[in-house]
Amino acid sequence: MKKILLVCIGGLLLAACSKGSLDTPEESITPPKKDTVYVNLPKDSCNNYFYSVNTCPGELCSSEINVSWGVRLNTEYCIVYLMDETGKILKQTKLPASKAEKCTVYDGIYSKKANGDNFYESARFLKYNYTLTPLSPDKKYSYRITSHWIDSQGRKISATSDTYHFRTAGADRWNACIISDFHSYPPLPGRLSSAMKMVETVNNYSTGKNGKGFDWVLHLGDVVAWGGSWSFWNIMYREKPFKNWMWAGLNGNHDNMTRQSDYSNKFFKYATANPLNGYQGEEGVCYSFTYGNTLFVMLNNEDMGTSAGLEKAQAWVRQTLNRSTARFKVVCEHYQWFYGSTGSTSQYSRWKDLFDECGVDLALGANNHIYVRSHKLNNTVYIQTPSSDNERGQDSIGELEYNQDKIAFRWNEGPKTIGALLMDVDNNKITITLLDRNAQALDNVTISK
């Protein structure tokens, strides 16, 4: 009888959950005869109770990895299960709601549904950031989360997330996929699917060339069309590559904006769980992390437009670079170093002196939707990614009018561009390869020590 009751409640909950609004209460559930029955939601309905689960870097990726997720406001606690590669539970941690933050930054923002309907985001939820640590170096792990709450009928309910995977740093040689500018926009799902397919293409290329897929993904911004649209992040994070790898990312101009051109770095901050080692006002947005032998410094262009903003960012970058003993130093920002169509100078002129001073090996940018790679300029190679959504690329590449002595290679496919990079690092060198959608290697550069 108890079993039948559980099945019935599960079925009713599934029907209620499929409506999918972020803060839909469970009032529509028929009350059970006993109000103390513990119900585990059917697995395929549980995604309605977890928002934007994603794996972010810890400050030191050989021993700590961060996890970001949201749950409903009535959640009492979550449990994070850390597992090894085989699924064996290594550690479980109970996190009461008091460990989470009530997030309302996306609530009421004008947005668009996948079917094209206009709507206002309904997004009031509890946001968790949690660091999985201590971890062993060069090891595959997985995790899943359960959330627990008492519904309006007084019943205890729990839901279990999907399983997520990552690999810690520590291998002598490691690989990352670098991608940007796919402007995920639910009414045009081809943007996201093009980028996700490209990630898999890079992984297959890595497997063919190195005998193993890449270890993590670095994105350089503009992953969603409007960062203020919480539903856009949610839809994006359900894709398989976000379950299979850690993603380290940075805030692009699109991630920083709403449909109505309001701006905030909180949209990016609350969609991730990055290290909080950035400078004042940029904690969790600007950050640095070390993956193996390489330091990554992640910037937010949207707050560097003025000379005062730039100065603040550069003071932090200088301090971060000088403190690190990593073998390779990489600085990432969303905006381009050069305008790809003519080769004219963009952010390069603002940063070259600091990069020369601090011995930056690789400067990564994006935004222009044209791949540009420089020669080694003093100590630094400058690269900006192409777009990857098959839709928002630039028309064409004109003649290289400027910086002929600095720019080594440019590429795009016109408006319908899909490309990404494979970064291959060992103790002596970084190799970056540009791949098109057909896994053709179009450009290659090696930075040796």
**Binding positions for Fe ion, rule: CB under 5 A:** 181, 222
Cβ proximity to Fe ion, 213 vs 221, nearer residue: 221
Q: Which residues contact 323 (CB under 8 A, 6 or more apart)?
A: none
Cβ proximity to Fe ion, 358 vs 421, nearer residue: 421
Cβ proximity to Fe ion, 181 vs 282, nearer residue: 181
Q: Which two tokens stand for residue 88?
A: 């064996």
> Quick check: helix, strand or coil at residue 198?
helix
DSSP 300-368: -GGG-SSHHHHHHHHHHHHHHHHH---SEEEEE-SS-SB-TTT--BSTHHHHHHHHHHHT-SEEEE-SS
* Shortest distance, position 397 Cβ to Fe ion, whole Å: 17
Q: Which two tokens stand for residue 106?
A: 């996306």
* Shortest distance, position 222 Cβ to Fe ion, whole Å: 4
* Shortest distance, position 253 Cβ to Fe ion, whole Å: 7
* Shortest distance, position 334 Cβ to Fe ion, whole Å: 8
Cβ proximity to Fe ion, 72 vs 191, nearer residue: 191
* Shortest distance, position 384 Cβ to Fe ion, whole Å: 11
Cβ proximity to Fe ion, 199 vs 360, nearer residue: 199
Cβ proximity to Fe ion, 222 vs 413, nearer residue: 222
Q: Which residues contact 39 (CB under 8 A, 6 or more apart)?
A: 6, 9, 10, 13, 155, 156, 157, 158
* Shortest distance, position 369 Cβ to Fe ion, whole Å: 6
Cβ proximity to Fe ion, 151 vs 222, nearer residue: 222
Cβ proximity to Fe ion, 155 vs 254, nearer residue: 254
* Shortest distance, position 90 Cβ to Fe ion, whole Å: 39
DSSP 366-396: -SSSSEEEEEEETTEEEEEPPP-SSSS--S-
Q: Which two tokens stand for residue 322?
A: 């000088």
* Shortest distance, position 183 Cβ to Fe ion, whole Å: 6
Residues 365 and 362: their CA atoms lie apart, in Å, by 10
Residues 63 and 79: their CA atoms lie apart, in Å, by 20
* Shortest distance, position 193 Cβ to Fe ion, whole Å: 17
Q: Is 257 left (phi over 0), alpha (psi -120 to 50) or beta?
A: beta
Strand 371-377 relative to strand 287-291: parallel, antiparallel, unpaired? unpaired
Residues 290 and 275: their CA atoms lie apart, in Å, by 11
Cβ proximity to Fe ion, 164 vs 226, nearer residue: 226
Query: By the 8 A CB rule, do 355 and 347 touch?
Result: no
Q: Which two tokens stand for residue 141?
A: 């792990």
The CA angle 140-252-298, to the nearest 5 degrees, is 55
